[in-house]
Structures are given as structure tokens and as C-alpha cells.
Structure 1
Amino acid sequence: MGSINESERYVNLLEYLRSRTQVDCDSLDIQIVTELGPFVDCTSNQADSYFELLNPRRAALLKKSADLSRHILPEYPDVSFEELAVEISMISLSLTIAPLIPGNIHVMANPSLSYSTPKVIQNGQRIASLCQRLDPSFDLSRLCIKVPATWEGLQACRKLKDLGIKTLATTLFTMEQAILAAEAGCISISPFVHELRVHFDEEYHDTDPIFDLCVKAQQYFERYSYATRVKACSLISVDEVMQVAGVAALTLPPTLLHPLSEMTEPEAKVAALSLFNHNTKIEGQEMERRSFLDEEARFRETFAKRDGGKGRVKTTQAIDLFCEYQLKAEALMKDTDTTIVA
């Protein structure tokens, strides 16, 4: 870094980030939440849950989830033992974090249902009922269902809002999805700055990150008085995190939280990185008010054309990857049940 200029004010990057943005934890590891907090919300998905369930310290929770699923399965004739057990385990993991944060726990809907509005609605209602069953004292207003930002998924969010269930639009890569999510009443959207694939394929490099979507969506929501907040995710470096300092919220994994907590830099240098630090407003056609809520054909057409179809492809690939981890988690539950029965 060179010689230190004593006139410069140095800041810890994680503390500075918290002064600009709501910082949420993208992990179900209690130790991370305890050591690197405070956090407001906790987010998770099928991959997070699967890897956490592989930890030997979660063996009791894994067994308890399988036992309960077998016991209450007759009450849920439309789902398999494995699906129900995965939902129970995901909720249970999130509930272990709930006492450590003041905000929302986020549980992701089964990604395999992403293209069926009725099934996503049913899934959201089931998650809420299971959450209440697992912890009757838990305030359900702190539960948020993460729903992939397909047409069908976002229409389900519209209905879930009417039922008093919070939702977040995930696997989101375009303004069309952001606008529809706001119209549907999602409390947050999570633009994936990088394709989900970069976190699972070491040989893959995403050359087209979408930092600008975080800025555009936030300014659009503010301009037209939508309550929906931008909760950015899928960043891969400390510099990238600092570029979006100023976004409403960020959900960060341990791989970024640890270095942020350990690094100190000149405040002026850090502030200059932020895309939200410049007071210029995005104008033009991109910021004109649009509506897709009851316009399925127009949404599908414009979504498909966005960036030459890249947004739709990225969304599909992300959902497919989450489906892989859904199946891995279900296989884990099946193995656990076989062991228990044996």
C-alpha cells in the first residue's frame, strides 16, 4: 500500500460497508453469524443448506428433520418424504440463526417448482406452516420466501403477499424481472451480479457482471415509490463489494466477510469505488415507468430480448443449478431415512 499518509482516515472495510448498506449474512453457519456480526437478515438456498447439513454437528438436526417428515407426511399428500424433509431441515437451520439477528430469515422455495404458480404458492404456504410448527413462538412476519424470478414465480409472489407471506425475488438478472417483482409486492430483489455458476465451477469466469442493474433497479424503485429493496448478491471479490456500497442491502458469504473484516483502507479510496457515490441519476427510456403485472406476453417478449437473451439464459441456468442441490439434499434425506429405518 506504500507509506501511510497520516492525514488520511483509514476504515475497516466491513465497518465502512455497514455505514453505507444493510449487511446480511449468506450463511447458515452459527459461528460465522456470531463472529462477524451484527447482521440484519440471514439468507440461504438449497446449496447453502446442503453443505451445512453435511457438517457432522448438524447430524441431530438432519435426523430430526427426517423423523418429523415421516411422521407428518400424511398431512402433505402432494409432496414426497424427501421434499418435505428438505423443507423442514432448511427451516430448522434458519431458525437456529433467527435469535442472532433482528431481521428476516430467508428460506428458498423448491426451485423445481419455479414454473408453476399454484405450486409455488402452495410451497410458500407450507413453508410458513412448517415454520410455525417447528417454532410456535417465532414471529412469521420475519419469514421471507425466496422465489425464482420467473413469470410464474413472481405471480405466486403476488398471491403470497395477499396471504401475508413475504417474498424475495431471486435468480434475477434483468430490469423486467425487477419491475415485475416490485409490482408483485416482493419486499426485496436479489440481482445476481455474477452468474451463479462462478461459485461452483472454478474454471468458469463470468465476463459480464451486472453491477448497473443494482443501480438502475434501486433508482427505479425510489423514483416510482416502490417499497421493494435491492439486496445484491453473487459478488466474488472485496473490490466488487465496495463497488456496490450504497445499495439498500447486500447478502455476503463467509469468503467475502472474512477478508472485509480484516482489511483497512483509506476512506477516500474506498468511497471512490462505489457506483452509488456519484450523484448522477440514470435517465432516458430505461427509467420510464413500465408495467408487466398483467402483461404476460409483453413480459416474456421483453425479458427474452434483454441483452440478447442473456438474462433469460442466466436465470434458467441458476434455477437448474439450485435444482441440482435440491436433489442432492433430497438424496441426503433418503440416505438418512434408510439409516434410521435400518
Structure 2
Amino acid sequence: MMNLLEQLKQYSVVVADTGDIDAIRQFAPEDATTNPSIILNSVKSGSYDHILMSIVDSVRQKKLPTEEAIASISDQLIVAMGIEILECIPGRVSTEVDARLSYDTAASIAKARHLVSLYEQAGISRSRILIKLAATWEGIKAAQILESEGIQCNLTLIFGFAQARACAEAGVFLISPFVGRILDWYRREYPETDYLPEDEPGVQSVKQIFHYYRELGYPTLVMGASFRNTGEIVALAGCDRLTINPALLSQLQSLEGGLHPALSASAGNVMNVEQTIDPLTEAQFRQQMQDDVMASEMLASGISGFEADQVQLEQLITTCLLSESSA
């Protein structure tokens, strides 16, 4: 009998949520995702030291101002790690724009174009890259423009339906609703409540979005993310894509039993969604996000967490750059 991971791959595209090359080789996912936290942990692990030192040496020779040098090293490192990952998977890697730009459309577009240009300079087609942006109003508008240029996007930190709807209306390639972080919020606010995996608020959110997209014919893909247990993953089998960390991939690989799709594009007509809906305006989006306390709080905290990890990464780069300078 196939294990649960093997069965899951029959119904959903499995995406590795890691920068660990050994784990990626072990679990043979289609795609992989990275974010500032994953990049930081990968650098701390030392597994990318040879790449980091090579980039630092190259940038040092250009004698750039320190701030500019750090930014250059950071961008090159993120792309170099993406290239390493792409050598181990047949599909795409998601590379995230600096979270500090989440509320700046123009700056997000510029950074995305720069990252794509670095990939292309290394011979990697943009068809193998997804640019990750936080699903703020500004991030969604940036993605809309990037998509028109053939730069496909992964809108991350999805916690509320307004974000998902706006992404689909903007023609975004893929969204990442955060299942586990939604559960974290509900557990904190309602500690007395227990949930079966299939009844968790995050699981229900993904199901709502998935059926909404399919019923209205949106091509935007749904990729469940941020899982806390294998039960959540099983409850979303059949979702377009699922990005899973190595610990949970390992658990799925060790489990046997029958797995059946919980989501199906042919389920249809469970929401009775009207087909003639005007796109959300910025005012409507902001109002709906304000009314959704969980979504607004978790989006803000998610961005803050990624910002903090980016700062830590740059501190490590700074230490490396200065120690090399004095060598």
C-alpha cells in the first residue's frame, strides 16, 4: 500500500516548504517555497556558506557603500538558493520580495523585476519562478502589474476572504492561505474550543476559497500553507497545491491508510455564488479586512515576523562582509 504522501501526490501538487536540499531530494516534491524565515534558517545551518562567501567576495570587489552591498548580497543569496533548489525539483521555486516593501506597490514591483533579472542572468527562465508578495492591497496591485509582464506571483499571508477575492480579481497565478496560523489565532482567542482537523477554521477557509474560485471559474491556484498537523493536510487533499515542511512530509511518508480527495473542482454549486460581481474596490477591501479582526491581525504580524527575519539575515550578512573586509 502506498503511504499517505504518495497518495497525496495523486490529488494535489506537493510543494516543499523548505530550503533544505537534502529534504527536497528525499521527498521529491514538484515545487518548493522559500520565505525570509526559511532563508535565515538555511543560512544559519551553514549549508549555504560556500554560496554566501562567494557572493560576499564578489560584491566586496565592487567597493559599494555598505548598505548597497548588503542589499546586493541579500538579493543574490536569495536567488542563488532558489537556483540550488531548482536543480532538485522539476517545477518552480517561490522567491519572496522583502516584506518591508509590503505596503509599497512601486518598490515591490522594482524588487520583483530585479530578482527575476538575477534569475534570468543565471539562465533560469521566469517560467520556473513565482514571486512571493504579501497579500496587502499594495502587494496585490503589484502582482497584477507583474502578471501582465509574464512574472507569475504567489500571494502569501492569506488569512481573509477579501484577500483571496482581490487576488483572483487581479489575475494572480497562485495564493497561499495560511491554515495553521489561523488555527493559532483561534486557539489563543478561544482556548476552551477543540477542533477536529477537518473543522479547523483554517481548513474551512481554504475550502471556502477553493470552491469560490472554481464556481466562478477563476484560474488562480490555491496552495494551502502553514500546516500544524497531518490531519489538516489530509482534510485538504485535492487542493491545487499544498506546501508542507519536512517534518510533516516525513510523517506523511511514514503513515499508511486510505486517502481520498476532500476537495474537488467538480463539487460545484455549494456556495451559490453570483456570477456578476464587481471587483472589490480599495475602500471595500480595507473595510472588509478591518472587519475581519483575525485576518488583519495575522497579516500584520506575519509581515512583521518576515521583516524581523530579513533584518536578522542582513545582520549576518553584515558580519560576514565586515569580517571579510578585515581579512
Q: By the TM > 0.5 criterion, same fold?
A: yes
Query: Aligned residues, how many?
Result: 316
Post-superposition shift, 1:163?
2.0
Change (3 A) 1:126 1:271: same
Compare 55-64 and 311-320 and name the one that shifted more.
55-64
User: Conserved in 1, the CA contact under 8 Å of 2:12 and 2:238?
Assistant: yes
Residue of structure 2 equivalent to 1:240: 232
Q: Does 1:116 align with 2:100?
A: no
Q: Secondary structure at the match of 1:80?
A: helix
Tell me: CA distance 1:291–1:149, structure 2 relative to 1, closer, same or farther (3 Å). Answer: farther
TM-score scaled by length of structure 1: 0.85
From 47, 55, 74, give the equivalent of 1:65: 55
Which one of 113, 116, 129 corresponds to residue 143 of structure 1?
129
1:40 aligns with 2:34: no
CA contact (8 A) 1:151 1:296 kept: yes
Give the secondary-structure state (helix, strand or coil) at the position aligned to 1:100.
Answer: coil
Checking the alignment, whether the CA contact within 8 Å between 1:303 and 1:311 is kept in structure 2 is yes
Deviates more, 1:234-243 or 1:81-90: 81-90
Contact 1:271/1:277 (8 A) holds in 2: no
Matched, 1:301 2:278: no
Please tell me whether residue 172 in structure 1 is matched to residue 161 in structure 2.
no
Assess, with a 3 A threshold, how the Cα gap between structure 1 residues 209 and 83 changes in structure 2: closer, same or farther.
farther
Q: Does 1:53 align with 2:39?
A: no
Q: Spell out the pairing of 1:137-286 with structure 2 (5 A cutoff).
A: 137-195=123-181, 209-265=201-257, 267=258, 270-271=259-260, 274=262, 279=267, 281-284=269-272
Stretches of structure 1 that go unaligned for 5 or more consecutive residues are: 1-9, 199-204
Percent identity over the alignment? 25
Give the RMSD, CA atoms, in angstroms: 2.7
| 1:124-152, Cα deviation, whole Å (9 max, x unpaired) | 0111112223x1x2112211100000000
User: What is residue 188 of structure 2 aligned with on the other side?
Assistant: none
Amino acid at match of 2:38: D
Structure 2 unaligned blocks of 5 or more: 185-190, 195-199
Contact 2:31 2:91 in 1 (8 A): yes
Cα pair distance change 1:111/1:235, threshold 3 Å: same
Distance in 2, matches of 1:189 and 1:259, equals: 25
In the alignment, the residues of structure 1 paired with residue 77 and residue 170 of structure 2 have an alpha-carbon distance, to the nearest angstrom, of 28
Change (3 A) 1:73 1:45: farther
